[in-house]
Structure 1
Amino acid sequence: MNSITTVGKPTSSNNFFTGTFYLTIAGKLVEAKNTFDVINPSTGKVFAKAPAASAEQLDDAIAAAKAAFKDWSALSYDARQVYLNSYADALQENRDDLVRLLTLEQGKPLETMAAPEVDQAISYIRQIANRRVPVEIVEENDSHIVELHHVPLGVVGGITPWNFPVLLALWKIAPALITGNTFVLKPTPFTPLTALRFGEIAQSVLPAGVLSVVTGLDELGPQLTNHPDIAKISFTGSTETGKHVLRAAAGTVKRVTLELGGNDAAIVLPDADYKTIIPQLFWGALGHQGQWCVGIKRLYVHRSFHADFVKAFVDYAKTVKVGDGLDPEVGVGPVQNKMQFDKLKTFLDDIKANGQKIVLGGEIDENQSGYFFPITVVDNPPEDSKIVQEEQFGPIVPIIAYDDVDDAVNRANDSIWGLGGSVWGRDTKAAVEVANRIEAGMVWVNEIHTQGVDIPFGGVKQSGIGTEQGHEGRLLFTNPKTVLIHK
């Protein structure tokens, strides 16, 4: 590993969160020859520089992870639990700085979105540390025993997106580590800084090479997915990029978990007490700037109360302030990056060009700094419109009238995606029956975005392959190994 140039480890929280950002390789903080700009989406201006790792440095990180795997995988679950709890403790000590840094680079409101994300990530590590994948006795008789072991894969590569850069990274890292794997994380270049900082923190508590964080531009992704010493890729991002990951992984028959795009539908049933659920539906669709993987992208409302629903939804939306996430009064922050901001403009242009009815928002203040997109509500656009058929991933929501529940289910399922969905109605049994007909990996009934360490999460169709969370997700960081023992 001849390219590593190291510096001393920070000795205080202040040093962690000011000054230079470093790669973390082989237990050391590593400088990069080149850097790239990190933009605060609330200002549209550069506020930090992130290290751009070279191809050789990524190779070094993978080599260090491979070297660390032998000893790490040999530890007991209880021993790895101690390490993970120490990591959670170290992150907790730096919690406030991580929260602020997350808002600066991602844009999300500090108290209502950034703080819960960091807190949930820390809690998640502690919960995962308690989980085990035990040996199963498949068969036992007088002559032999058949045991099913679940053994670690080796070096896992993680590629994470910009909407939840802390939580989605640690969703991958923690179960990989507790099951005995080592990990190399490549976060998106749009939000690299919190990942670099929690990578730095890890070096003070985890053995060298167990977790490395390597940032750079898009060319690092293919190098990671093609690398022969990477046993598995865990990727969260767009469907199109996921297809590239899948093709690259095929060359060495890597294991893959892909959590990809979605166009999640919410169906409000005819018996729903719709006025009481509007806040949940609003935040499920437009909270977090509409940048939820499983956000409500299409809202189907029964025609009998559609007009009243739209008015009440708009009235509620008008009470929510859009602005800088550091402002405690702000409920919705900026779109995270210019690429996504410009993509959202194409939706707005299409809506206007086709004469669809905008009942809130729709006008961008071009003189305002930052990537602020107005909360926009589109009233009953046609089913074949861009805003209904494609994933907007931003603060625009169509509210679509329907007459027949069967038709609403058919329209909800008429998509290349199937990540999440939700059904809302007074009659829970009837709502569950509708939910069971939704083609998605996760469907909520009369709630939204409830998730947890033991709740499996994954998509169907072009929304992904494999599962995260739950026992099922943890198993995907292991290989089944059958051991047959003659008595």
Structure 2
Amino acid sequence: MALDKTGYPPLDFETFYNIIDGELSSTQNNVRYGINPFTLEKNPAVPVSSLHDVDRAVEAAGRAAKSWAEVPWDTRVSAIREYANAIEDKAEDFARILMMDTGKTVNLARDEISTCIQYLRGFCQLSLPSEVIEDAKERKVVTRYTPVGVVAGISPWNFPVQVACTWMAPAILTGNAYIWKPSPYTPYCSLKFAELGQHFFPPGVLQALSGDDDLGPLLTEHPNIQMVSFTGSTPVGKKVMESCSKTLKRVVMELGGNDPAIVCANVDPVSVAIKIASVAFCHSGQICIATKRIYIHEAVYDAVLAAMVEFVKTLKLGSGEDAYTGPINNKNHFEYVKDLLADVERTKLTVATGSTKPPSDMGGYYIVPTIIDNPPDDARVVVEEQFAPVLPLMKWSDEADVISRANNTNMGLGASVWSRDMDQAERLGKQLQAGNIWINTHAELQTSAPFPAHKQSGLGTAMAVDGLKACCNVQTIHTRPADGTT
């Protein structure tokens, strides 16, 4: 087989397979087709996995996990680094497929691939050595971390490869085998990521299974899978947890978010408006940690609103390099967003910019970036996670009151405070009930910092050493000298 410039067999980005035990695997006529969010045309066929496919993958993963766990840490690090280099070599091809997958603009697709590479390399800089608790003549106590075995990763449709890398890399690095289940809406880039990985990991260490909504339960209930990582909505997360409980699987979840931002009276209105809107409307708001509720001090409310409206009017919809945001990813969510906007219209909320109707001159799942001016706190657009380019702005005047309003949700993924007074910013930030607090910024992540979730936004902690530990069993060894020894 001819090799491409990277030294590996070229990837065929037109046909898509499961990856089972180091090989491409089809399901013959049992296939499904994704939809391109830009054009609403059918994407290529992908497999619909059956229990037979799951059993084959789990059996291969079980075998691989035993031998991979014995591979030295540095060797596993080298394999992941080489894998990251190969992804980088094919970054443009992956970005093109990711656009077809997700509806991301070309710049956002490139950014997701670049972030995946950063994550893979970043995790390789971490370590998880044994910890000596006590080392005395009469007793030694050591804690070490051993791989759980087979990890199934269920990834979302909004960031299908980036989110998967937050669990795939730690799982493989710590000596586990990883079975990747992409969303039925966005399987394409994930399958090719896994296919490329076969050049760097032994058969069974990294596998991928495409399927429909029936595939997830086959993994979460499988008796020979020891851990499930899930990223998605809170309602589905509850079902995943219930399913995993049948076999007492380890489960880690990153679920919904309804992130508030508190804007104080002393900010620069234009600067803050642009920074917040840039995050809120990125990827059409389809980001779990996007700002979704903005509380602005009444002293600067009108100025921030005006600046944000002017900025949002400049945001171009489309797919090219001059576009800021693309369409909604899939029809089901598109219909939800349309219903949410219909509720805005029914309840006669004030639309500062945008529209309650999709644009009539674009063929994909497009929604016009829309700002809602000072809706009541019980409006659907405030209470629900929009996951869309629809942003409510509300006034506040009292610190205790705005903290209460910001915390009045069962979600607790992220929150931000914007103030020139750092004492005020930190005071407010410490009162917010969320796993990730940002001061004068939002949605910044790095592999060296834990990414936790509070309330019903998740379970367990991703990233950093905490993410490595989540993929491991903790083992404590207590040692005393044998009788008669000194």
Q: TM-score scaled to structure 2, two decimals? A: 0.96
Q: Which runs of 5+ in 1 are unaligned?
A: 1-8
Identity within the alignment, %: 36
In structure 2, the partner of 1:45 is: 41
In structure 2, the partner of 1:185 is: 180
| Distance (Å, rounded) in 2 between the aligned partners of 1:367 and 1:94 | 34
Is the contact between residue 456 and residue 467 of structure 1 (CA under 8 Å) also seen in structure 2? yes
| Distance (Å, rounded) in 2 between the aligned partners of 1:54 and 1:248 | 18
Superposition deviation, residue 368 in structure 1: 2.8
In structure 1, the partner of 2:243 is: 248
Q: Decide which of 272, 277, 297 is 2:292's aligned counterpart.
A: 297
Match of 1:116, SS? helix
In structure 2, the partner of 1:28 is: 23
Matched, 1:336 2:329: yes
Matched, 1:119 2:119: no
In structure 2, the partner of 1:148 is: 143
In the TM superposition, what whole-angstrom CA distance separates every residue of 1:433-475 from its partner, at most 9, and x where no partner exists? 1000000000100011111001111211110100100111211
Q: Decide which of 377, 385, 390 is 2:384's aligned counterpart.
A: 390
| Distance (Å, rounded) in 2 between the aligned partners of 1:419 and 1:157 | 23
Is the contact between residue 224 and residue 230 of structure 1 (CA under 8 Å) also seen in structure 2? yes
Superposition deviation, residue 365 in structure 1: 2.5
Matched, 1:276 2:276: no
Match of 1:16, SS? coil
Match of 1:297, SS? strand
Aligned partner of 1:420: which letter? G
Superposition deviation, residue 130 in structure 1: 2.8
Q: Alpha carbons of 1:61 and 1:11: their partners in 2 closer, same or farther (altered >3 Å)?
A: farther
Is the contact between residue 231 and residue 255 of structure 2 (CA under 8 Å) also seen in structure 1? yes
Comparing 129-138 with 371-380, which one deviates more in the overlay?
129-138
Is the contact between residue 268 and residue 274 of structure 1 (CA under 8 Å) also seen in structure 2? no
Is the contact between residue 264 and residue 297 of structure 2 (CA under 8 Å) also seen in structure 1? yes
In structure 2, the partner of 1:352 is: 345
| Distance (Å, rounded) in 2 between the aligned partners of 1:477 and 1:47 | 34
In structure 2, the partner of 1:5 is: none
| Distance (Å, rounded) in 2 between the aligned partners of 1:10 and 1:318 | 50
In structure 2, the partner of 1:287 is: 282
Matched, 1:136 2:131: yes
Is the contact between residue 10 and residue 16 of structure 1 (CA under 8 Å) also seen in structure 2? no
| Distance (Å, rounded) in 2 between the aligned partners of 1:422 and 1:130 | 28
Is the contact between residue 187 and residue 195 of structure 1 (CA under 8 Å) also seen in structure 2? yes
| Distance (Å, rounded) in 2 between the aligned partners of 1:371 and 1:215 | 23
Comparing 260-269 with 363-372, which one deviates more in the overlay?
363-372
| Distance (Å, rounded) in 2 between the aligned partners of 1:86 and 1:14 | 15
Match of 1:355, SS? coil
Q: Alpha carbons of 1:149 and 1:94: their partners in 2 closer, same or farther (altered >3 Å)?
A: same
| Distance (Å, rounded) in 1 between the aligned partners of 2:315 and 2:12 | 31
| Distance (Å, rounded) in 2 between the aligned partners of 1:449 and 1:89 | 26
Match of 2:462, SS? coil
- Alignment RMSD, CA only? 1.3
In the TM superposition, what whole-angstrom CA distance separates every residue of 1:373-418 from its partner, at most 9, and x where no partner exists? 0001100000011001010100000001112121111000000111
In structure 2, the partner of 1:76 is: 72
| Distance (Å, rounded) in 1 between the aligned partners of 2:454 and 2:154 | 20
Matched, 1:471 2:465: yes
Superposition deviation, residue 239 in structure 1: 0.2
In structure 1, the partner of 2:484 is: none
In structure 2, the partner of 1:457 is: 451
Superposition deviation, residue 367 in structure 1: 5.3
Is the contact between residue 133 and residue 142 of structure 2 (CA under 8 Å) also seen in structure 1? yes
Comparing 401-410 with 122-131, which one deviates more in the overlay?
122-131
| Distance (Å, rounded) in 2 between the aligned partners of 1:36 and 1:255 | 31
Aligned partner of 1:216: which letter? G
In structure 2, the partner of 1:427 is: 421
Matched, 1:103 2:103: no
Aligned partner of 2:399: which letter? V
Matched, 1:413 2:407: yes
Superposition deviation, residue 11 in structure 1: 4.9
Match of 1:18, SS? coil
Is the contact between residue 13 and residue 97 of structure 2 (CA under 8 Å) also seen in structure 1? no
Pairing of 1:364-403 with structure 2 (within 5 A): 364-366=358-360, 368-403=362-397
In structure 1, the partner of 2:262 is: 267
Comparing 238-247 with 45-54, which one deviates more in the overlay?
45-54
Superposition deviation, residue 181 in structure 1: 0.7
| Distance (Å, rounded) in 2 between the aligned partners of 1:310 and 1:14 | 53
Matched, 1:219 2:214: yes
In the TM superposition, what whole-angstrom CA distance separates every residue of 1:77-115 from its partner, at most 9, and x where no partner exists? 11111211121122122111001111121111112x111
| Distance (Å, rounded) in 1 between the aligned partners of 2:297 and 2:85 | 49
Pairing of 1:298-317 with structure 2 (within 5 A): 298-317=293-312
In the TM superposition, what whole-angstrom CA distance separates every residue of 1:204-232 from its partner, at most 9, and x where no partner exists? 22100001000000100001000011111
Match of 2:281, SS? helix
Match of 1:221, SS? helix
In the TM superposition, what whole-angstrom CA distance separates every residue of 1:325-358 from its partner, at most 9, and x where no partner exists? 2x11100111111111110011101111011001
| Distance (Å, rounded) in 1 between the aligned partners of 2:135 and 2:160 | 46
Match of 2:461, SS? coil
| Distance (Å, rounded) in 2 between the aligned partners of 1:27 and 1:86 | 17
Superposition deviation, residue 320 in structure 1: 1.1
Aligned partner of 2:350: which letter? K
Is the contact between residue 269 and residue 405 of structure 1 (CA under 8 Å) also seen in structure 2? no
Comparing 51-60 with 145-154, which one deviates more in the overlay?
51-60
Aligned partner of 2:70: which letter? A
Match of 2:272, SS? helix
Superposition deviation, residue 240 in structure 1: 0.4
Is the contact between residue 403 and residue 428 of structure 2 (CA under 8 Å) also seen in structure 1? yes
| Distance (Å, rounded) in 1 between the aligned partners of 2:399 and 2:115 | 36
In structure 2, the partner of 1:56 is: 52
| Distance (Å, rounded) in 2 between the aligned partners of 1:71 and 1:203 | 16
| Distance (Å, rounded) in 1 between the aligned partners of 2:137 and 2:243 | 47
| Distance (Å, rounded) in 2 between the aligned partners of 1:10 and 1:291 | 40
Aligned partner of 1:64: which letter? A
| Distance (Å, rounded) in 2 between the aligned partners of 1:481 and 1:179 | 14
| Distance (Å, rounded) in 2 between the aligned partners of 1:17 and 1:293 | 32
Matched, 1:66 2:62: yes
Q: TM-score scaled to structure 1, two decimals? A: 0.96
Q: Alpha carbons of 1:486 and 1:429: their partners in 2 closer, same or farther (altered >3 Å)?
A: same
Q: Alpha carbons of 1:218 and 1:430: their partners in 2 closer, same or farther (altered >3 Å)?
A: same
